[in-house]
Structure 1
């Protein structure tokens, strides 16, 4: 569900960009729909994921996806330096998820999670 929320976040960001400050009706309607979908999917995902981890993953997916797809579909620039820092975000999200895993926490404390 968190991946779905991230996908909706990408669609929302691209729709906002395409709406040209909400002056293009179909892009504006799309932005509102994807905004509601991303909030709903994120809220469902946060029922089973800690809010800090869930929000970081959701925001990371949205940021990276918006930059990549914005450069592909909206003629936005994506420099090598920007791509590097987006890779750092991806690595950080992965590391954050790994650090919050039950197995890793059990290994650090020497206790097995219930």
Structure 2
């Protein structure tokens, strides 16, 4: 169950990262509210997962899910660069996340 909570927390991290851009510096009310709700939910679920999982592993997985997901959606939604180096870097992050999961 802790791993499931951690994955959902990571997905919410992606949501709030994209929400930050959509809120335009918290100047737009609805995207700002969405971002804040996603932040609170993400932190809460991360805290619940950390009751069981090692802190370093849980935090790194949470950040990794958020980073990889945000970069991929930034490429797909916002037209961010999809250079070879960026994509290779994402693969390396994913490899690290798999390694952390296997070592946990």
Instruction: With the length of structure 1 as denominator, give the TM-score of the two structures.
Output: 0.83
| Higher RCO by CA contacts (8 Å cutoff, separation 6 or greater) | 2
Instruction: With the length of structure 2 as denominator, give the TM-score of the two structures.
Output: 0.90
Describe the superposition over 1:38-93 as per-residue Cα deviations: whole angstroms up to 9, x where unpaired. 00110111111011000000000000000001221223223221111011001001
1:45 counterpart residue number: 49
Distance 1:99 1:49 in 2: 12
1:87 counterpart residue number: 91
How far apart are 1:11 and its partner, in Å?
0.3
When the two structures are aligned, how many residues end up with a matched partner? 100
The 3 A distance-change label for structure 1 pair 76 and 24 is: farther
Determine which structure has the larger helix proportion and give its number: 2
RMSD: 1.0
**Structure 1, gaps ≥5 residues long:** 101-114
